[in-house]
Amino acid sequence: MPVTRYRSVTEMPRPWRDPHDPRNLRLVAQMLAFYRDLVRDGSLRPGVQRFRTLDEAKAGRNDPNRR
């Protein structure tokens, strides 16, 4: 994704949604519910996982006990 630089705030495009729209909170709640549905099984561990080799990373991806 390219980075666009602006000399002032007036050159920036308007936001695609009004930041003061009361429906924004409902949309955020829907997105969070969707996220919870995606990770409901607990297979995603929070944070960053580090592996020493590519083989360890592949094994960690396929490990059913990974939490």
The predicted pLDDT at position 64 comes to 59
DSSP letter assigned to residue 57: H
- Residue of higher predicted confidence among 37 and 6: 6
pLDDT tens string 21-55:
999 999 999 999 998 887 776 666 677 888 899 99
The whole-model pTM stands at 0.44
The predicted pLDDT at position 8 comes to 93
- Residue of higher predicted confidence among 58 and 40: 58
Q: 3-state DSSP helix/strand/coil percent for the chain, to nearest 5? A: 40, 0, 60
Q: How far apart are CA 51 and CA 49, in angstroms?
A: 7
* Residues 21 and 27: beta-carbon distance below 8 Å: no
pLDDT of 66 over the 80 cut: no
Task: At 27, list the tokens.
Answer: 């949309």
Helix, strand, or coil here: 9?
Answer: helix
